[in-house]
Structure 1
Amino acid sequence: MPPFHELIASTTRSAIHLEMRDTYTPNEPSFLRWKETGEVAVEEFWSDWKALVRATVTRGVTIRRARIVSEPITDFIRLEYEMTGPLNVAAGEQVRWLPRRQASDLALPGNDFWVFDDKLVRFGHFAGDGTFTEHELRDEPHVIQLCATAFEAVWERAIDHSEYKPL
């Protein structure tokens, strides 16, 4: 499995990411710090990500991220919301949020995913508690189409980060 930075480095036009879980990586250091102190430590824990996104966007790649979330949001999603401006948006990502109740009639893949240049899908698999288990790469046209179509349906309904106010 190529590392993410290699996948994004080979991307020339667009990368889209759909997140659909209410919790991720419960032992993530930035999450544990935030739970303990309330501090959003973007630079301490996420400076490499921020630099990678900034470099990718600078070379002309559009990065869009959409998150489907249950409301009221979980603690983990609250941290993601608080980090989105200083991390994702500041690095150059476009981010939108869709309350889960507004996604009921959308056909969605069973797992979170990235699509790179409409050529490759990277699914992320997680355990029930949000612990990451593995990635899966797929390049079949019907899988790429399913994910791209689902993402665009979410994106069309979702609320820009600057306007979204979570419950």
Structure 2
Amino acid sequence: MTLQVPSFDELLSSARHTALHLELRDVYAVDEEEEDVRLWRSGEWTIDSSRQALAEWMNLVESVTKRGVAVRRARIVSTPVTDYIKYEHALTPLNIEAGEEVRWLPRREALGIPLPANDFWLIDERVVRFNHFSGDGQAVEPEMSEDPAVVALCASAFAAVWDRATPHAEFQV
């Protein structure tokens, strides 16, 4: 049975305890970031310009964390990091300002961790939203699962990555 994929607002608003996000890619090419990435590459970017662009996301995360939900994001990255990851690192203080906890794990340090093949959001260890991307980083149709084995794999993977990962403030790009 295929589950309908809710919006991020609906998904995060449904969380009661935890909303865990694991990112596995070194490059994303999502349309809503295109202008910010261009500005960052040209040296014209400021965190305040991104604050405005991310206002809806930040408000959503803030409303979720104010209800006591832990929102955690872990990123597995290749080193040396790509320019896109440098951009993400520069942007991450906004995630933290909104209430997320963020950690980084160099890909070499992830050896031995059973990982799902795709980025995901795990909500309350009950449902997983997989974010699928094309080879060039474009977002494609997401997928949901409540399969207990899939949920357990994602929960275990996130916990192992989180334990090994470096908090954002200590991670150098």
Q: TM-score, normalised by structure 1?
A: 0.95
Structure 2 counterpart of 1:12? 16
Question: For residues 100 and 134 of structure 1, do their structure 2 counterparts lie closer, same or farther at Cα, with a shift above 3 Å needed?
Answer: same
Structure-2 separation of matches of 1:149 and 1:97: 17
Q: SS state of the match for residue 150, structure 1?
A: helix
Alignment of 1:21 with 2:25, yes or no, is yes
- Residue of structure 2 aligned with 1:137, choices 131, 144, 165: 144
| Offset, 1:36 | 2.5
- State the 4+ residue runs in structure 1 displaced beyond 4 angstroms: none
Structure-2 separation of matches of 1:68 and 1:99: 6
> Structure 2 regions of 5+ residues with no counterpart?
none
Q: SS state of the match for residue 128, structure 1?
A: coil
> Structure 1 regions of 5+ residues with no counterpart?
none
Structure 1 counterpart of 2:64? 56
Aligned partner letter, 2:21: H
Structure 1 counterpart of 2:128? 121
Q: SS state of the match for residue 40, structure 2?
A: helix
User: After superposition, what is the alpha-carbon deviation per residue over 1:97-152, rounded to whole angstroms, capped at 9, x for unaligned?
Assistant: 00011112211100000000111000000011111111000001110000000000
Q: How does 1:16-165 map to 2 (within 5 A)?
A: 16-25=20-29, 27=31, 28-40=34-46, 41-85=49-93, 87-165=94-172
Calculate percent identity across the aligned residue pairs: 47
| Offset, 1:72 | 1.1
How many correspondences in the alignment? 165
Structure-2 separation of matches of 1:165 and 1:98: 11
Structure-2 separation of matches of 1:154 and 1:10: 24
| Offset, 1:31 | 1.3
66-75 vs 28-37, which moves further: 28-37
What is the RMSD of the two structures over their aligned residues, measured on CA atoms? Answer: 1.1
Structure-2 separation of matches of 1:29 and 1:123: 25
1:26·1:129 contact (CA, 8 Å) conserved in 2? no
Structure-2 separation of matches of 1:44 and 1:88: 13
| Offset, 1:26 | 5.6
Structure-1 separation of matches of 2:62 and 2:21: 16
